[in-house]
Amino acid sequence: MASGATWIRHSTREYVATADGDEPGPPAKAPPRPGPSCGRPELVARIRPMAHAVTLIPGDGIGPELARATRRVLDASGVEFDWEVVDAGEAVMAKEGTPLPQYVLDSILRNKVAIKGPITTPVGEGFRSVNVALRQALGLYANLRPVRSIPGLKTRYDDVDLVIVRENTEDLYTGIEHMVGPDAAESIKIITRAASERIARFAFEYAVANGRRKVTAVHKANIMKLSDGLFLESCRTVAARYEGRVAFEDRIVDNMCMQLVQKPELYDVLVLPNLYGDIVSDLCAGLVGGLGVAPGANIGTEAAVFEAVHGSAPKYAGQNRANPTALILSGVLLLRHIGEQAAAERVEDSVRAVIAEGRTVTYDLGGSAGTSEFADAIVARLDSPVTSA
Ligand code: NAD
């Protein structure tokens, strides 16, 4: 099962013998094992921890600079990575004729884990969203977006601790739309029992695995009685199996938005169809300091892709101004996913400590540091003996 069980999976670090120079990954920590003096250093084996192979998609707009900062921080976490860097998006479209070449999907399926920067989607014309296509092609059915207050950030609340579970594969995002004559357009909203029950199971499994007390299903079943009605019915069916372990309730999406703005502390895990999940995610990001600090993960049975909630913010591209926190915290989710819990805690503590200090943060958090200085401060904190705030 790829829901909660995959999420809390623990991997073991194995030790393997490799030939020097074979691996493009980071330098080995262990010294080369003395071998016969045959004059062929490239064949001298050494013992090193097996690196985690991870696909890295820098993305476009602010994506490449955020990806660079995130890679630096993850490399400084003490975990060994073999990064496989592949490109997708606008620039690739010009070269390959598609913004999402098959080799990108192959790389993710091979490594099972990827981290990606945001990718621009042309508005109203041009290619369909690479982000949506990636989720659909890889069956990344669950979009997980933890939303947690960060000490030191000036926001309306200081105790928000929510988890958004957004269905990622259907709803209005199937892209089935057409013109009905010259002056009307129709978009088809697809909701199936299978996908709705699957995402509800993910939400409940996540709640059980992470000691969460309640799941709230969000819908508009008073108006869309068939589609949203089926989503709600599916959530209720799944909820019945968790009775006594995890509480369940539902809210109509408009009321949910007001409730979240007024009393976010009443909520715990939210499960939503695709479009409401998209909108409510940004609303919740606003509760804890904005899009610059909101991480995310797309989880499927075959692979997981970690990415920030925010987009490519083209107006800040290449200026070393954007906040890398959201992608770095997506990296923390990645570390947990691959079983590197201790490193995940260290990186998260370091990020929170740098933000709490408030000296080296980006413009959106009230500071004047650049993306790379922010990352430098996190790395310095990671390298110091005490990382907690
Ligand atoms: P956006 O999230 O890119 O930016 C909205 C605003 O939020 C920015 O103008 C900026 O003020 C702020 N912001 C976002 N990220 C920030 C960061 N890291 N640091 C500081 N401030 C930040 O949303 P948009 O402008 O609606 O979308 C731009 C493009 O991104 C579009 O093409 C959209 O399709 C795409 N997009 C991609 C993804 C993805 O790759 N998963 C997600 C959302 C949007």
One DSSP character per residue, 197-218 reads HHHHHHHHHHHHHTT--EEEEE
pLDDT tens figures, 58-73: 999 999 999 999 999 9
Residue nearest to atom 27 of ligand 1 (CA): 311
Give the pLDDT confidence score for residue 46 in this predicted structure: 53
Ligand 1 centroid – CA 326 distance (Å): 11
What six digits make up the tokens of 112? Answer: 């099972």
Tell me the pTM.
0.86
Give the pLDDT confidence score for residue 385 in this predicted structure: 63
Indicate the helix (H) or strand (E) that contains 92.
Answer: helix 90-96
Give the pLDDT confidence score for residue 388 in this predicted structure: 47
Give the pLDDT confidence score for residue 311 in this predicted structure: 95
Give the pLDDT confidence score for residue 18 in this predicted structure: 30
Phi, psi of 257 (to 5 degrees): -60, -45
Residues with CB under 6 A from ligand 1: 62, 118-121, 131, 291-292, 307, 310-313, 315, 322-323, 326, 364
SS3 185: strand
Indicate the helix (H) or strand (E) that contains 68.
Answer: helix 63-75
Give the pLDDT confidence score for residue 123 in this predicted structure: 79
Edge-to-edge order in the sheet of strand 214-219: 81-85, 52-57, 113-116, 304-306, 297-299, 142-148, 161-167, 269-272, 214-219, 247-252
Indicate the helix (H) or strand (E) that contains 47.
Answer: strand 45-49
Pocket test for ligand 1, best of 291, 361, 373 (most atoms within 8 A of CB): 291
The list of the chain residues with pLDDT below 70 reads 1-49, 385-389
Give the pLDDT confidence score for residue 20 in this predicted structure: 32
What are the residue numbers of the active site?
A: 173, 220, 254, 278
Ligand 1 centroid – CA 62 distance (Å): 9
Pocket test for ligand 1, best of 306, 310, 330 (most atoms within 8 A of CB): 310
Give the pLDDT confidence score for residue 300 in this predicted structure: 97
Ligand 1 centroid – CA 316 distance (Å): 10
